[in-house]
């Protein structure tokens, strides 16, 4: 799937400490604030790994500032993508980014805890669900429960099981899910997917370098899917000199 070319030239009013970041594709820009959680390569890899059809109705759980919906809309021309997040300030940034990029008719951002998902969305109403869940358990290390970045990184407002359970409840039969997560919790995530009838169909380990152990993984599942798993070739992020590999460059800088 090729990226869609589009030109956007306009002004944007930024709040204090906000910045406007170039997403390096399709002339997209994203409003971010360093006081909150800013997106990382993980989100870009997940948006590239996901495989929605262009007529899919998609949900991004824990959307943050809206990076994944923006990238998926540009790449797949999905008809409608919803992004939800517990932090109202991040949702405000995501909405303003969508307006700036002139995709507010395609992207809708809602301030919502996924545990309350059925209060807004109908059961089994989505074709595809993606999420980059908080990696750390709430009690791992010293955590400020009021810290904006900690809320994105730690299971403070919801945990992994909440996300997978609600993914299953909101997903249509034969719909798909895709997650990016830490390998330390790979067995836990796959067990939860099985518990909630999400059959693991594609798995890809992510290594910082070819001789380093995998720290992250990408996984895709199908609700009500049968047996059979494709373990893909590992994704290597950096070469021996510490530079991005050609594959990662193609993902991160698709227009180059």
The pLDDT tens digits for 217-226 are: 999 999 999 9
167 assigned to some structural domain: yes
In a domain, 1, yes or no: no
Q: Which residues face 75 on adjacent strands?
A: none
User: 12 in a domain, yes or no?
Assistant: no
For the entire predicted model, the pTM comes to 0.90
Number of domains in the chain: 1
169 is a domain residue: yes
Question: What tokens does 149 get?
Answer: 């970045």
Per-residue pLDDT tens over the stretch 26-61: 899 999 998 887 888 999 999 999 999 999 999 999
In a domain, 182, yes or no: yes
Q: How deeply is 158 buried, as exposed, middle or buried, from its count of CB atoms within 10 A (0-12, 13-18, 19+)?
A: buried
Domain range for 207:
19-252
Domain membership of residue 136 (yes or no) is: yes
Token duo for residue 104: 């507010």
The mean pLDDT of the chain is: 89
**Sign (positive/negative) of CA torsion 31, 36, 39, 40?**
positive
Domain assignment present for residue 10? The answer is no
Q: Is 104 inside a domain boundary?
A: yes
CATH code of 124's domain: 3.40.50.150
């Amino acid at each position: 799937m090729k990226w869609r070319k589009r030109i956007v030239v306009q002004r944007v009013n930024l709040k204090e400490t906000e910045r406007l970041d170039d997403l390096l594709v399709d002339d997209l820009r994203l409003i971010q604030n360093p006081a909150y959680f800013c997106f990382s390569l993980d989100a870009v890899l997940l948006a590239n790994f996901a495989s929605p059809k262009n007529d899919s109705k998609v949900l991004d759980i824990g959307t943050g500032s809206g990076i994944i919906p923006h990238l998926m809309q540009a790449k797949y021309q999905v008809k409608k993508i919803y992004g939800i997040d517990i932090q109202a300030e991040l949702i405000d940034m995501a909405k303003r980014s969508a307006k700036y990029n002139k995709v507010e008719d395609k992207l809708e951002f809602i301030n919502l805890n996924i545990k309350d998902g059925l209060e807004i969305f109908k059961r089994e109403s989505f074709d595809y669900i993606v999420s980059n869940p908080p990696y750390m358990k709430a009690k791992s290390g010293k955590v400020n429960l009021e810290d904006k970045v900690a809320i994105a990184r730690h299971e403070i407002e919801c945990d992994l099981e909440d996300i997978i359970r609600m993914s299953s409840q909101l997903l249509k039969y034969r719909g798909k899910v895709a997650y990016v997560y830490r390998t330390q919790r790979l067995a836990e995530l796959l067990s939860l997917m099985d518990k909630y009838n999400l059959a693991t169909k594609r798995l890809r380990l992510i290594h910082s370098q070819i001789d380093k152990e995998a720290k992250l993984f990408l996984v895709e599942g199908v609700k009500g899917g049968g047996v059979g798993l494709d373990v893909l070739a590992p994704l290597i992020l950096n070469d021996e000199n510490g530079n991005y590999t050609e594959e990662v460059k193609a993902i991160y800088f698709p227009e180059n």
